[in-house]
Structure 1
Amino acid sequence: MPLAAVPRLDTGDTAWLLAATALVLLMTPGLALFYGGMVRTKSVLNMLMMSFVSIALVTVVWLVAGYSLAFGDDAFAGLIGGLDHLGLAGIGPDSLTGTVPTLLFSTFQLTFAIITAALISGAVADRTKFAGWLVFVPVWTLLVYVPVAHWVWGPGGWITQSLGALDFAGGLVVEIASGASGLALCLVLGPRLGFKKDAMRPHNLPMVLLGAGLLWFGWLGFNGGSALGANGLAAASLLNTLVAGCTGLLGWLFVEQRRDGHPTTFGAASGAVAGLVAITPACGVVAMPGAAVVGLAAGVVCSYAVAWKFRFGYDDSLDVVGVHFAGGVVGTLLIGLFATSAMTGGTEGLFYGGGFGQLGRQALAVAAVATYTFLATYGIGKALDRVVGLRASADEELTGLDQTVHAETAYDHGVLGHGGAPLHAASPVVSPAKDRKPSA
């Protein structure tokens, strides 16, 4: 009987994952800039802080218990991992996951957890108590993100192992989870003062574009690093990520030109992010032509989906639902059409001769993750709102959270009014009907 291969450290794989981990961590400051540019001047610093503090909070939770529960050996029916690695116990510098150090793998996965929590802040911008956010993030990470990560990526997780659904880099775990959770939390908090009445325009579009550029840059590590090696799959995932971002950008601009008569810088940033969101689950599953279609579909669908909040009356401040949830659903479902065995090593979608089976599995996974994350987040939000309070007071919201919470302002010139813009500064010319602000 041949001896089983002994896992060996691969320095090339390790070097690539080190770089990818740094790229993914950079996405959270990029998200902070993206969100910061989208809000009014009176809440810029608060928006930045909600992302930055998430880095610290999620890191503590992840290292204490999150990693063990998400990636430890399955403890119960594919639903949650065990407690063997609390505080990273039993994991030393020589421990390996595949061909890379387990400590590096854990850190790479940590960066995913960080940005997923930070994404939710866009749904509740301008009106969330910072103290409440400090409690919400660790509780949500432990009770919502960690179980879903185990379902999809953990040893024995039921979505991958039992159901057979595919999610290469986080369409379910990151995008749909953050989108459904953002919807739940904004329903708990209620709408901003002036929602549907006052113009709530982005105060700094260059900052939005800079944030989008950093997100796109980091996304190459987000998706390419998920191959966990310096190999052809990483190269294909990276190329697919670039392609989908481009077609998402073009798709959104096409809709804007046709619907509004103006292709905007904001639309370009939003479309690129929509394409990147959608390709996240599919980047290691579809070939390049499929990636182009996935990005294009997301750019078109998400450009319409951002109007859902006005139709249904929920105030998703920066359109986490319209971009992350909608884009995540698009990308996850299209795996059922465009998956190819050249990428998956076996599984094929409908357009490659695989029938409807994979599409059904993808749809069931979407429904399961969306339902659990929405209900769990809604419950957490309601409980915390009763115990510590999540909604800022009307006076705090009108004055601006930068001054009332942080005792700072982002800009030291001009006089700030309740709208949050310098009274002497010109505002962007945006029709109230188009006053929707998509998120990262």
Structure 2
Amino acid sequence: MNKEFLDALTELEREKNISKEDIITAIEDAVELAYKKNYGNYPNVRVSVDREDGEVLVLMSKEVVEDVEDDMMEVSLEEARSYDSRYELGDIIEYQVDPKDFGRIAAQTAKQVVVQRIREAERRNSYDEFVNKQGEIITAKIERINNGTMFLSVGNSEGILPLSEQVKSESFNVGDRIKVYVIDVKKATKGPQIFLSRSHPGLVRRLFELEVPEIADGTVEIKGVAREAGSRTKIAVYSHDENVDPVGACVGNRGSRVQNIVDELFGEKIDIIVWDEDPAILISNVLRPAEVEGVYINYVSEKEKMATAVVPEQQLSLAIGREGQNVRLAARVSGWKIDIKSKAQLEESGFAFEEYEDEDDSSENAVNEVEQPDKSPAAEGQIAAEPAADEAAAPAEVEAEVEAGTEA
């Protein structure tokens, strides 16, 4: 090795973020092992790389003794003083040894160490890059498909899109470049394992953040997302500026913003809902397109929130949705367990329903209330939906599906 080799290590340190000193230390350790393997496993041998000119030195240490019994470990006082008259008994003297052909072995070993460290650094840097992208959207190219699982090129690494994280209604081929959501990054011997998703509700959240400037700058906040991938999503939004309509901002001029997201999701329907801190108004909003006549707050605790929503008889099916989808998504996005009843069902179960008109609120968000009875209802035909456990804990990450451009 020479100074040019050290200069190359300096370049690697800058380009690959590999410590030059760490590489040199690793070379010293590896060359020492190579020496002991080829020339004898002597404990008194060490290897040193000169930091100035790159020269590799093999040094053997010996103890200065009166009578030599092991010439590989000891040196006589007379011989030691032939090098330096200051040596005394018990001192340690180091010799430079240069066995035949060892220069070639040292060079090969050093090369192997450098290559190994470069690979390790690339894997480490790749992991560091993508572990910070968890919860983000990236664009990746599909390289191969094996038993339904897609493998995508992600920089110098490979991303995995399992069948369970794909959307049945979407179809992709090898060579396609697609947007995917990074759900997890794990360390592995051959590089980071990057797990991707097309079905995660976070994909919809990030698409809105990319498409809607008012969300990106914090004016409009996404309060919850509930998704059944490929079918429908409900997303609840709130404006921190009374002059900015959160639904209008998300929909865009002539629906352009939400349409871009719908196109990316291959036609998935998206309902955009106004979030309200008043639970009655919120529940009324999330059950749309059904018209809610009244909301009764049954029970609230740290672990559970339950409410009954009253809808017209002819809108029961609409409120519940096909196979319960509408009320299921409404529960997830709001964090409330919701029972759906008609006025007749409510009265049969012992509730007293009172219609009223709020003089201060003539808007479509005005909600009728239900008078609380002595006991909670247990009528037959009651429809209930509740948020999933993880979604209730973090409503922003709740699963969902949506109708494009539907306003709350």
Q: Structures share a fold, TM > 0.5?
A: no
TM-score tier (shorter): under 0.3
Of structures 1 and 2, the one with the larger relative CO (CA 8 A, separation 6+) is: 1
TM-score of the superposition, structure 2-length normalised? 0.22
Instruction: Kindly indicate which of the two structures has a greater share of residues assigned to strand.
Output: 2
> Highest Rg: 1 or 2?
2
TM-score of the superposition, structure 1-length normalised? 0.21
